[in-house]
Chain A
Amino acid sequence: MKIIDASNMYYRDLNTMIDIETLNEKNITVKNVCGQRYIGRGLSSGVKIKVFGIAGNDMASYMNGAELEIFGNAQDALGNTMNSGKIVVHGNAGDTLGYAMRGGQIYVEGNVGYRVGIHMKEYKEMKPIIVVGGKAGDFLGEYMAGGAILVLGLNLDENEDIIGKFCATGMHGGVIYLRGKQDLYKFGKEAVKVELEDSDTSFLKKHIDVYAKGFDKDLTHIDVNSFSKYLAINKNPYSNMYCLY
C-alpha cells in the first residue's frame, strides 16, 4: 500500500502523483487532504483509494469503477457525472453530491447539502444509487431522470427534517425513498408518492445493510415498511414545452 501526504500540495500535482502511483499500486492512502479538487477523477476499476481529510470539490468526477473511502467531510459535487464505482464518506457531504451521476454507489454516513442527485440518470443495467444516513437539503433529486436515492434520517434532532423543500422538482425518472412520512408541500409537483412493493423492501434491506456494515452501525431497528417512495408523475414532462399543439 502506498501512502501519499497531500499537505500543502497543489491539486494538479497531487492528482498527477495519484495517476502515476495507480500504474503500479492498486491500494493508495492519501493523508492530510485539505480541499484539493478532482481526486479520483476518471479513475478506473481495480483501484482503491482512502482519503483522510476534507475532500475537495468534484472529487470522483467521471470516476469509472474505482473505490474511494473518505475519512472526513466531502465538499461540493462529489461524484459529479460518475460512471461507476463506489464511494463511502465517513462524514458529511456538500451540495450537488452525485450531480448527473450515471452509475455506481455513494454512501454518506451523515448529512448532505442542497441539490443532491440533481439530474442523475440510468440506462439499462447502469443504475446509480445514493444512500444518505442523515438528512438532505433542498432540491433533493431535482430533475432526477434515473437511479435511486435513499435517505435514512438517522440521528436527527426533533426540529430537523429529513429533507428540505422542493424535493424531486422536475423529476422525470428514478426513485426516491425517504424514511417516515413527509409533508406534501416539500415536494415539486412532478413527483408522486406510491406504495412500496416487495422489490422495494428487498432493495431497501440490501442497501441499509451495506450502510450498516460500512459504517459499523446496528440498524436492525429500522423498519423498511416505514419508508415513503416517490416516483415521477410523467416520464417526459417537458415534451410540449417548446411546441404548440
Chain B
Amino acid sequence: MLKEGEIRIPSGCAISGIIDIKGDRFSGQEIVKSIALMHERSNGLGGGFAAYGIYPQYKDLYALHIFYDNLEIKMKTEGFLSEHFDIESAGNIPTTPVPGVINKPLIWRYFVHPRTYMVKEDFIDEAEFTSRCVIRINKDYNGAYVFSSGKNMGTFKGVGYPEDIGKFFMLETYDAYMWTAHGRFPTNTPGWWGGAHPFTMLNWSVVHNGEISSYDANRRFVEMFGYNCTLQTDTEVITYLFDLLVRKHEMPIEKAIKVVVAPFWDDIDRESKEMQRELKAMRAVYSSALINGPFSIILGYEKGMIALNDRIKLRPLVVARKDSRMYVASEESAIRIICSSPDKVWSPKGGEPIIALLEEGTQK
C-alpha cells in the first residue's frame, strides 16, 4: 500500500479533550463517549487518544509505544533499544478484537531508562537523548514506529473509528488526569496506523483538525534542529515545534503560542511600543515557526492542555468548564454528552489559546 506522502488524495476531523486540573484521574470511558458523538466527522481511517497520568508505577521511566510491521524489524529495533536503554519492563500493549479494526501491527510497550554513560558521553540530558533515539528509530528502522515516548503518559491510536480504537485498546482500564482524542477524516493522504493522531514527542502530543499550509516551511525549520519529519503528514511538525520552542529554547508556553499563531502585523501596530518591539522580534526570529492554514488543535504535555485555533478560525472549537474539569471539542454536543450542565460554555476567538494547566503543586 502507498503510505502517507507517496500519494495525495484531495479535511474534516474531530477533536476532544478533558482535563481535571486538580489531577484527579478518571477512566477513558468519557473521552471515548465524547469523540464517538462526532462519528460523522471521521471516516474510519484513523482514531487515537493521548492519556496523561496512566503509568504512576513507572512515572520516572520513558514509556515507549512502538508499532512493528513484522518480527524481523522488532528484533532489530529491540537490539537498538537494549543498546541505548535499560529496559525495566516490556510487553505487548493489551488489545481486544473489535470489528472494524483490522490489519493491526505488532504493538509493543517498553518502560525504559536511558543508559547513563551514553547520555553523559554526548553532553546532553536524558530527554534529548531519548528524543534523538526516537527520531533515529522512526527514520532508520523502516517498519518500526515509536508513536509514544513520554513519561507517565501514553498514546493509543490506529486505523478505525476512534470509538473502535478506544475499545480495541480497552481505554476504560486506564485512569488519566487528562485525555485527548482524535477522529480522522484523511483527505490528503491514506490512513495508516502511524499516521493516526495524536502525534507525539516525549511528553508532547497533538491532535489536529485541519491542515497546515505552512508545513514545508515549518518542516525545514525543525529539521535544522535535528528533527526528522518521517510521517509526511502535517500534524507531526506542530509537535516538534512545541518541543523545540519550549523544551529546547526554554520559551514560556504563552510565548511559544504567540510564535505559532503570531498576531497580524496590523494588530501589532495597535500595541504599545514595548509590546510592538517584542512581538516584531518574535515574528522576525521565528518567522518559520508560524503555523498557517486552517486548524484547531489540542496540545497535551505534562502540565496540562492547550487548545488553539488558527488566527482566522477556519476550524471549530468549543470550550466548557465544570468544577475542576475543562473540556474542549470540535462540537458543543461532544461536551454536553459527558457534561450536561457545564458552568460555562464558550467559543474562543481565532488565535486565542485556551490554557488549562494542572494546579500548582498537583501530584502528577
Contact = CB atoms under 8 A, between A and B. Distances in A.
Q: Is the interface of A mostly helix, strand, loop or mixed?
A: loop
Contacts of B270: 185
Contacts of A113: 313, 347
Interface string A95-126: 10000000000000000011000000000000
Which bucket holds chain B's interface residue count? 10 to 19
A68 to B, nearest CB: 17
A94 B347 contact: yes
Contacts of A164: 349
Contact of B350 (A56, A76, A94, A138): A138
A54 interface: yes
Given A11-B40, A35-B337, A185 B266 contact: yes
Contact of A137 (B38, B313, B331, B332): B313
B336 interface: yes
B239 to A, nearest CB: 26
B313 A73 contact: no
Contacts of B334: 35
Contacts of A11: 40
Contact of B312 (A54, A56, A138): A138
Interface in A26-71: 34-35, 37, 53-54, 56-57
Contacts of B127: none
B336 A34 contact: yes
Given A57-B331, A185-B266, A34 B337 contact: yes
B331 A75 contact: yes
Contact of B336 (A54, A76, A94, A185): A54
Contacts of A76: 316, 331
Contacts, number: 53
Chain A contact patch, size range: 20 to 34
Contacts of A94: 316, 318, 332, 347
Interface string B337-357: 100000001010110000000
A201 B143 CA distance: 70
Contact of B40 (A37, A54, A95, A114): A37
B316 A95 contact: yes
Contacts of A53: 336
Given A11-B40, A73-B345, A138-B350, A34 B312 contact: no
Interface of A: 11, 34-35, 37, 53-54, 56-57, 73, 75-76, 94-95, 113-114, 137-139, 164, 166, 185
Interface of B: 37-38, 40, 266, 270, 312-313, 316, 318, 331-334, 336-337, 345, 347, 349-350
Given A54-B333, A94-B318, A113-B313, 16 more contacts: A35-B37, A35-B333, A35-B336, A54-B336, A56-B333, A75-B316, A76-B316, A76-B331, A94-B316, A94-B332, A95-B313, A95-B316, A114-B350, A138-B349, A139-B312, A185-B266
